[in-house]
Chains A and B, each alone.
Chain A
Amino acid sequence: MTIVKTKYGRRSFIKTTVLAGGGMLLGFSWLAGCKPAGSRGEAALELPDEWFEINGFIKIGDNGVVTIMSPNPEIGQNVKTSMPMIVAEELDVDWARVVVEQAPLNTEIFTRQLAGGSQSIRQGWHSLRMAGATARHMLRQAAANAWGVPFDEVTTEMGLLKHEASGRTAHYGEFASAAARLPVPEEVQLKDPKEFRIIGTSRKNVDGQKIVTGQPLFGLDYRRDGMLIAMAVHAPAFGMKLKSVDDRAARSMPGIVDVFPIKTYADDYERQWCDTDAFNEKVVVVGRSTWEVMQARKALRIEWEPAAPLESTDGHRVAMDVLAARKARVVRRDGDPEAMFAKAARIIERTYTAPFLAHNTMEPMNFFAHVTDERAELVGPTQTPEFMEKSLAARLGLPLEKIDIQMTRQGGGFGRRLYGHFMVEAALISKQVGAPVKLIYTREDDMTFGNYRPAYRATYRAALDEAGNLLAFHVRAGGIPESPLFPDRFPAGAVDHYLAEVWSADSNISVGAWRAPRSNFIAGAEQAFLDELAEAMGKDPIDLRLELLARAAARPVGDHNDYDPERYAGVLKLVREKSGWGQPLPQGVGRGVAAYYCHNSYVAQVVDLRVEKGKPIIEKVCCAVDCGIVVNPDAAVNMVEGGTVDGIGHALYSELTFTNGAPDQTNFDRYRLIRHGEAPKAIEVHFVESDEHPTGLGEPPLPPVMGALANAIYRATGKRVYHQPFIKELRSQLPG
């Protein structure tokens, strides 16, 4: 048991005003779930007559049913289940009697209501535990007061308060009203992780039943009486702007309410990082139904004109070739790498590239808004409600407290919903038409208006002496419009002579965070290069990495290395053991390994595959993961499986190319995503047993698998692949 100071003041624990009858009745919002967590076949929980709000995270019903607010956006990373599990653990309740509700944006109660950087669990860990532990403390105090017994003698078990000496017991609901009136304790006891009975056990998705029965959950499902449907037409190419609109035909079409241009952000507004919007001027069509709006927008006659260069993928390639050949900006130098390369007996140099990628959340961008002169109400899928509240306040000229944001379940995020221009658009449209509005992006709107994963290129060089020892390591990496390099990550710190350089080329194509930003390319490139290096040095690929990591642990080069070499080695050793590394494989099967550290977690993967007629068949992926304490194991396995499939899919099949500023792929007919039969036949996931505080899982499984895939392709075919999407290189290697 750990005693910790509560860091909450009144701000964090808005106490409900206690009514004469005792306690405050709180209604459920539209988003509320009324069934127990992960129910199937179980009877729905009987809801209480009254709810008592103990703190911003917890409401306890008079019958002992507990509502736990899940603070962060749920984009498929399972925080709506796993974050409340942490609260429930410290509250010490029966998970079967917990109702989870998505919290709205509330900066008075919650901190960091953001889905990004795989940080929800890591950064929420302490406050979630404290919320549960504080409420448990107050319930024990209320019972101690009522029973006239010392506080320390009141214990809890699964939602029950107990006093062993007198044999008294009560459920939490019996003391919820009294607990809600107590002062917030100055210090509370946290459980020893050995006492955990919810954390570390697999609990089903709290929205599972609703998902499989098609209940309204997502932003696109939201509706309100009198709600209109809106679509916003943006320029067909990056670099173009609006010249003129002839909307006469569109206006006269059935069901159409209004057509008008909007400017999402004001010209003099200083944009936040999440306000990326390459198409600030749009033409909006508002109508009574989605199909009618879709038809009317086809009747719009809009002239767009170039306002900036119209870029093409061919031009990008030329620009990258030129920049990559020049000396670039040095971001890390250890020892004297140039001297080592000058005296090397052998230099290995390889170049890797990857294209732009769209996020392609299955649920396209959308948002509901109802804006009046006094207030703005927004409901929908966003990863950054707190930031976007500021953007909305500035654009609408309303104070922050007049902006209400509720989050729906979100049909994927992957970083795209960090950038909330669509919320501002929805709000402006609602204000203009004076009605509640749901803004919907079509798939084409969504895919051609990305904040894309940038295009990247990296050249790795290694200097070897006559005996095949590694003398120096050099990476020069750049992209459009940013470099993917993390100069202080492995193998920095493990090599005496190390040089890292970055370059970039400007572009008017908008980019943004895409699942594991920068890592989603550089990990694969680096891990494929290490594979070639191991081969050149005559070493086993895992052995080489372990030797380098041992060096980094014993005598690190430099003092800013951004990884723990022992935990890094830990996942490699685990994957070596679990994958049967070194054992014979069936004819035609190649096996590749990779490991990477990002977002505070370590992942190693071994891929086994065959290539038949240029088509990879992934037999198996074995994953070893160190993310500290695993909160919800089966859901964590699911996340690792998904990241693995996602990484393999994008490295093999996906690319977004441009011609004269316009994306060449506008829908899933031309944009290739991995499909059922292309997914690995089997994925095994193993976690390092750990008492470390939990770290993220949404992103870390994706980057390394791209390298393991490339290495396995080499072992299966004898040919290295360097340029994503790999399927093109594989096909080009086919005879005839």
Chain B
Amino acid sequence: MAVFTLNVNGKRYEVDVDPATPMLWVLRDHLNLVGTKYGCGIAQCGACTIHLDDVAVRSCMLPVSQVGNRRITTIEGLSANGDHPLQRAWLEHDVPQCGYCQAGQIMNAAALLKANPNPTDEEIEAAMHGNLCRCGTYTRIKAAIKSVVKG
């Protein structure tokens, strides 16, 4: 066990955990931020996507000991009032079916748009490849992303 100081959604937290604990479980079990989802544990589904600084990472494979002083953003902190353009677009397109994967989808898409505000269809598909949706909402996800792409 070791104490780690974390910057999550602009707030400072201290957690005393096994250094190998993935950020996913630190967020869910220790910080009670459960918007970040567990789906596979091996970085194959994208449900656990968070931002480390501005980059999308799979929190299920990110040990807390490797975070250092980088900023962590989760779906709860993506916007102050739940009104990030992608969150609004997701509602406008009524994207979710079961909804379980959608926080990861939004976080992944948000990082894409931050790095590349004007992606092509192919770039969107490539960037979103790692995010599974078992309900099959892919066409709506793409439409929602495209609706906020600056053209």
Contact = CB atoms under 8 A, between A and B. Distances in A.
List the 5 closest pairs (A to B, CB-CB), nearest first: A214-B35, A645-B136, A76-B98, A411-B100, A214-B75
Interface string A438-450: 0010111000000
B99 A215 contact: no
A612 interface: no
Interface in A175-224: 202, 204-205, 207-209, 211-218, 220-221, 223
Interface in A613-671: 634-635, 638-639, 641-646, 649, 667-669
A641 B136 CA distance: 7
Given A362-B101, A668-B45, A211 B96 contact: yes
Contacts of A212: 75, 82, 87, 90-91, 96, 102-103, 106
A163 B17 CA distance: 66
B136 A669 contact: no
Interface of B: 1, 17-18, 20-22, 25, 28-30, 32-42, 44-45, 47, 74-76, 78, 82-83, 87-88, 90-92, 94-103, 106, 122, 124-126, 128-142
Contact of B103 (A41, A211, A361, A635): A211
Contact of A364 (B17, B38, B83): B38
Given A214-B34, A668-B45, A676-B142, A204 B91 contact: yes
A643 B137 CA distance: 9
B96 A205 contact: yes
9 contacts: A38-B91, A78-B97, A218-B100, A360-B134, A362-B132, A363-B100, A409-B98, A645-B136, A676-B125
A148 interface: no
Interface in A209-256: 209, 211-218, 220-221, 223, 229, 254
B41 A443 contact: yes
A75 B98 contact: yes
Given A214-B75, A291-B17, 14 more contacts: A40-B91, A77-B97, A207-B99, A211-B102, A213-B75, A214-B34, A362-B132, A363-B37, A413-B98, A414-B134, A634-B94, A638-B97, A646-B134, A680-B139
Given A254-B1, A254-B18, A209 B91 contact: yes
Contacts of B94: 202, 204-205, 208, 634-635, 638
Given A212-B91, A362-B101, A411-B99, A679 B136 contact: yes
A362 B47 contact: yes
Contacts of B129: 675-677
Contact of B42 (A410, A645, A669): A669
Interface string A695-733: 000000000000000000000000000000000000000
Given A641-B136, A644-B136, A668-B40, A214 B97 contact: no
A289 interface: yes
A295 interface: yes
A676 B131 contact: yes
Contacts of A362: 37, 39, 45, 47, 98, 100-101, 132-135
A682 interface: yes
Interface of A: 38, 40-41, 75-78, 202, 204-205, 207-209, 211-218, 220-221, 223, 229, 254, 289-292, 295, 360-364, 409-414, 440, 442-444, 634-635, 638-639, 641-646, 649, 667-669, 673-677, 679-683
A589 to B, nearest CB: 18
B99 A642 contact: no
Contacts of A38: 91
A291 B131 contact: no
Nearest to B25: A291
Contact of A667 (B40, B78, B135): B40
> Which of A40, A362, A363, A682 has the most CB atoms of chain B within a 10 A radius of its CB?
A362
Contacts of B18: 254, 291-292, 295
B99 A76 contact: yes
> Which of B82, B101, B141 has the most CB atoms of chain A within a 10 A radius of its CB?
B82
> Which of B75, B88, B100, B136 has the most CB atoms of chain A within a 10 A radius of its CB?
B136
Contacts of A645: 136-139
Nearest to B143: A682
A40 B96 contact: no
Contacts of A363: 37, 39, 98, 100
Contacts of B82: 209, 212-213
A409 B99 contact: yes
A494 B32 CA distance: 60
B97 to A, nearest CB: 4
A684 to B, nearest CB: 10
Contacts of A216: 34
Contacts of A211: 90, 96, 99, 102-103
B125 A76 contact: no
Contacts of B132: 362, 668, 673, 675
A137 B52 CA distance: 57
A646 B103 contact: no
B125 A677 contact: yes
Contacts of B30: 289
Contact of A411 (B92, B98, B138): B98
Contact of A223 (B32, B136, B142): B32
A443 B39 contact: yes
A464 to B, nearest CB: 38
Nearest to A288: B29
Nearest to A701: B136
A220 B139 contact: no
Contact of B22 (A291, A410, A413): A291
A362 B39 CA distance: 6
A289 B38 CA distance: 14
A214 B36 contact: yes
Contacts of A674: 136, 138
Contacts of B47: 362
A680 to B, nearest CB: 7
A413 B135 CA distance: 10
A70 to B, nearest CB: 15
A645 B133 CA distance: 10
Contacts of A649: 136
A442 B41 contact: yes
B140 A638 contact: yes
Nearest to A632: B94
Contacts of A364: 38-39
